[in-house]
């Protein structure tokens, strides 16, 4: 166990250093991601007719302030749950044979990718904390106050579980490459569905009866669930139930990843040095 801890620490340390090599490019790409916030604030201001003689009060239970707050918190949730390049990277390694390094060396592929992704997030948060603080301060009038302690703890738990869920889901999609040579179309379809079904596009409450069905799917934990917690959409018993369901999804995906990797390796063949 101590040896594994040393290996994991080395992977984390090396991955952080790797991302800091091109810190200027990484910082620029991180800051660019905040530009859509301005567009969304003005877009929803136009939808709610803010500043006109006939502004809209509420739409589907959301005021204009609620919508701005929702998208700001969704950005925080997506900062944890999004895994850009993970699935496509695994598929590429399988396709070009790079995955052999995990089969010939005493390093677990999923473990390596997990700690590497944590390193990616740590560097991202270190760079993004300033812009996040600035954006939240500028939009402070739209934000609700901090909820009670239980709800706040549930919010942070949802972020951590969202990271685990997002990682395991993307990893599982990447492992499909053991059975299909090209998975780019599958990943494209997944991204489109994810954007809609996770609540990233609009709150799932806005979907009516269809939204009720969608909320039985796990995608809500990637974006909608953390935002809904902070907006007071769940009671304490509902939070316990939803977090328990999310834990079950994480465990199920962990088992699915291990099974898919083990079976994929058995049918995998690579040649060359």
Mean pLDDT, the chain, integer: 84
Reading the block at residue 83, the tokens are 């895994």
State residue 137's pLDDT score: 86
State residue 151's pLDDT score: 94
User: Please, which pLDDT band fits residue 273 given cuts at 50, 70 and 90?
Assistant: very low
Average pLDDT over residues 67-80: 90
CA atoms of 118 and 160, how far apart (whole Å): 11
Does the pLDDT of residue 272 top 60, yes or no?
no
Distances (CA, A) of 42 to 26, 50, 65, 196: 27, 9, 12, 21
**DSSP per residue, the chain:** -HHHHHHHHHHHHHHHHHHHHTHHHHHHHHHHTTHHHHHHHHHHHHHTTTTSSS---EETTEEHHHHHHHHHHHHHHHHHH--TTHHHHHHHHHHHSTTHHHHHSS--HHHHHHHHHHHHHHHHHHHHHHHHHHHHHHTGGGSPPP--HHHHHHHHHHHHHHHHHHHHHHHHHHHGGGT-S--HHHHHHHHHHHHHHTTSSS-GGGGHHHHHHHTTSGGGGGTHHHHHHHTT-S-HHHHHHHHHHHHHHHHHHHHHHHHHHHHHHHH------
Q: What angle is formed at CA 182 by the lines to CA 180 and CA 187, rounded to 5 degrees?
A: 100
State residue 270's pLDDT score: 56
What does the pLDDT look like over 30-49, one tens digit per residue? Answer: 667 777 777 888 888 888 88
CA atoms of 250 and 253, how far apart (whole Å): 5
CA atoms of 166 and 89, how far apart (whole Å): 15
User: Please, which pLDDT band fits residue 11 given cuts at 50, 70 and 90?
Assistant: confident
pLDDT higher at 182 or 179: 179
State residue 221's pLDDT score: 94
What does the pLDDT look like over 230-259, one tens digit per residue? Answer: 998 999 999 999 999 999 999 999 999 999
What does the pLDDT look like over 134-165, one tens digit per residue? Answer: 888 888 888 888 889 999 999 999 999 999 99
Q: Provide the β-strand partners of residue 59.
A: 62
State residue 60's pLDDT score: 79
Q: Provide the β-strand partners of residue 63.
A: 58
What does the pLDDT look like over 95-141, one tens digit per residue? Answer: 888 888 877 777 788 888 998 999 888 888 887 787 788 888 888 88
User: Please, which pLDDT band fits residue 27 given cuts at 50, 70 and 90?
Assistant: low
**What residue segments make up the domains of the chain, in order of their start?**
2-51+61-267
State residue 250's pLDDT score: 96
CA atoms of 121 and 30, how far apart (whole Å): 11
Percent of the chain with pLDDT over 90: 29
State residue 102's pLDDT score: 78
Percent of the chain with pLDDT over 70: 91
pLDDT higher at 234 or 216: 234
């Amino acid at each position: 166990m101590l040896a594994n801890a040393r290996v994991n620490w080395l992977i984390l340390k090396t991955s952080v250093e790797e991302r800091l090599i091109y810190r200027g490019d990484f910082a620029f790409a991180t800051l660019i991601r905040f530009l859509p916030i301005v567009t969304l604030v003005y877009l929803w201001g136009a939808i709610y007719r803010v500043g006109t003689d006939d502004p809209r009060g509420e739409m589907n239970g959301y005021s204009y302030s609620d919508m701005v707050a929702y998208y700001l918190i969704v950005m925080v949730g997506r900062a944890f749950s999004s895994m850009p390049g993970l699935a496509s990277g695994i598929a590429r390694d399988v396709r070009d044979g790079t995955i052999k390094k995990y089969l010939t060396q005493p390093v677990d592929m999923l473990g390596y990718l997990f700690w590497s992704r944590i390193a990616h997030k740590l560097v991202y948060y270190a760079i993004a904390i300033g812009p996040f603080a600035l954006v939240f301060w500028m939009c402070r009038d739209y934000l609700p106050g901090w909820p009670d302690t239980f709800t706040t703890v549930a919010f942070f738990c949802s972020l951590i579980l969202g990271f685990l869920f997002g990682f395991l889901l993307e990893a599982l999609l990447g492992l499909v490459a053991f059975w299909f040579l090209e998975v780019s179309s599958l990943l494209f379809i997944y991204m489109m569905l994810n954007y809609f079904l996770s609540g990233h596009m609009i709150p799932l409450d806005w979907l009516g009866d269809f939204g009720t069905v969608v909320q039985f799917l796990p995608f809500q934990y990637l974006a909608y669930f953390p935002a809904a917690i902070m907006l007071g959409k769940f009671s304490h018993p509902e939070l316990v139930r939803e977090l328990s369901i999310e834990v079950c999804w994480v465990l199920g995906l962990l088992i699915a990843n291990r099974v898919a990797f083990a079976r994929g390796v058995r049918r995998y063949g690579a040649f060359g040095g």
